[in-house]
A = this chain, B = another copy of it.
Amino acid sequence: MYSVSGKQQVCQLFFVQVILIVLMGALITYGPEADANSLKKHGQSGDHGWKHVKKPDTNPLQIYPMYQDVHMMIWIGFGFLMTFLRRYGQSGMGLTFLLGAILIQVAMVCEGAMNFRIGTAASLSLRSLLNADIAVATPLISMGALLGKTTYMQLVFMGIFELIMFSVNKYVGEHVFMAVDAGDTMFVHVFGAYFGLAVSFVLGIKDKPTKHNLEGASYNSDIFAMIGTVFLWLFWPSFNSATLEGDDQQRAIINTLLSISSSCVMAFATSALVSSDSKFNMVHVQNSTLAGGVAIGTAAGMMCKPVGALAIGGLAGVLSVLGYKYLTPLIRKYLRIHDTCGVHNLHGIPGVLGALFGALMAGLATEDSYDYSLYEIFPARAPDTEEKLAEMRDNYGISAGLDRTAMEQASYQLIVLAITIAMAIVSGLITGILMRVLVCGSISEEQKFDDKIHWELEEEIVQKPPIKLDTISSDSDPLSMEDI
């Protein structure tokens, strides 16, 4: 591992942003809906009076409120959720802010590059902004496994590499294997969790993770973190439904709300059940309450019935708390994987559960219960022969598919889950090795979980070595103690 100065990291940060500006300049342009000129060329009709815009079928602005919900999830949700450490709140919030701002640009470039590959123009629209936000959730999940143990440039590097692999994996899953994953349970949550755990494994391989002095919450940091939790909880229905349309979208909203409500209650109950005094634990409440949002993701738009959504959400809440209580210590002890935020319990386990549930629902899906929208939700199940397709295409706009059976679709769902996990672990291991080798610095054991490594803190008091309290009164402002 090379030792690099802070100045070098700063230069790397400037370099990344400059490269992004250059790439955007070379690759990306406005989409037709946002381009003054191309709209005119395509919309020559002009027969409706003053409106020169040829209206698309749905108002493009309809997506914007949902986009802003997801936007809040990424920065307010993830950002504040990561303030739970008592001396790492400014980094938790601040690095999410920085990382998110870089990585949405990276995600746009990646989407542009992927689209370029499949032949259409690399152009920006509200939908691509939404896709960028969703993509960025992936490295932020991985960051949760590493919180407090890396430099910011290590995270930036990881994020860039992860987004590239994320794009490839999602392309393979969605377009090659035609798996369905409305809420990105596999592509975002499972991938992000196992990628982050793999990186954490590599980073912790030399020094066995030990319980650190600063690795814990304070009374106020726990309340700050609840800001993140609740915003994530509130807007998860938007996250799972934003890319859907029509009745699928309504159903995804309802299913997600039910699932995440059930996981909230079950997480509280399980938390009290496994504690010695039947009390709630803040770590569980901050995280496991959200497990239902992950678990319903793949099946969000499917006809799983309200009771199905409640059941899977409740199960996810239970498993997530049990994971925090029993699995995390084992993973730490035997696999030497340290998982600061417990992303395995919030995104890993519920993600796998959700992918399995999605496969189950896909295996149960019949034209009887879905009617023609079966072929909208599972495009690969649409007939591939002209005669059977004709009426559906004319009446409902169904495109030709692969004529898959329900069982086949379920199998492909499982295959994509396996591929996602494998891809996440392998690319995470490689990324972790590169993060140790590359010149983006590293954090020593003593510097972990401490804001002062990243921030010019105002208070002198925390930058001094341990002091006796009764000496504070003489050499410092008496206010400084209370104000912290």
Contact mask for chain A residues 190-234; partner B; CB cutoff 8 A; 1 contact, 0 none: 000000000000000000000001101111111110110111011
In the complex, A470 Cα to B478 Cα: how many Å?
11
For residue A408, CB closer than 8 A to chain B, the reply is: no
The answer to whether A222 touches B129, judged by C-beta atoms less than 8 angstroms apart, is no
Contact mask for chain A residues 290-301; partner B; CB cutoff 8 A; 1 contact, 0 none: 000000000000
Inter-chain contacts of A41 with B (CB < 8 A): 371
The answer to whether B226 touches A257, judged by C-beta atoms less than 8 angstroms apart, is no
Nearest to A62 among chain B residues (CB) is B61
Q: A218-B458, A466-B478 are in contact. Are A396 and B50 (CB under 8 A)?
A: yes
Copy count, this protein chain: 3
Q: A230-B79, A269-B14 are in contact. Are A246 and B213 (CB under 8 A)?
A: no
Q: How many residues of A contact B (CB 8 A)?
A: 157
Q: A25-B306, A37-B371, A305-B25 are in contact. Are A83 and B223 (CB under 8 A)?
A: yes
In the complex, A279 Cα to B86 Cα: how many Å?
19
The answer to whether B279 touches A456, judged by C-beta atoms less than 8 angstroms apart, is yes
Q: How far is the CB of A390 from chain B (nearest CB, A)?
A: 13
Determine, out of A96-104, A352-360, A423-431, the stretch whose residues face the partner at the interface: A96-104
The answer to whether A458 touches B222, judged by C-beta atoms less than 8 angstroms apart, is yes
The answer to whether A37 touches B456, judged by C-beta atoms less than 8 angstroms apart, is no
In the complex, A261 Cα to B101 Cα: how many Å?
5
Contact mask for chain A residues 64-83; partner B; CB cutoff 8 A; 1 contact, 0 none: 11101101100110011001
Inter-chain contacts of A102 with B (CB < 8 A): 261, 265
Contact mask for chain A residues 266-281; partner B; CB cutoff 8 A; 1 contact, 0 none: 1011001101011111
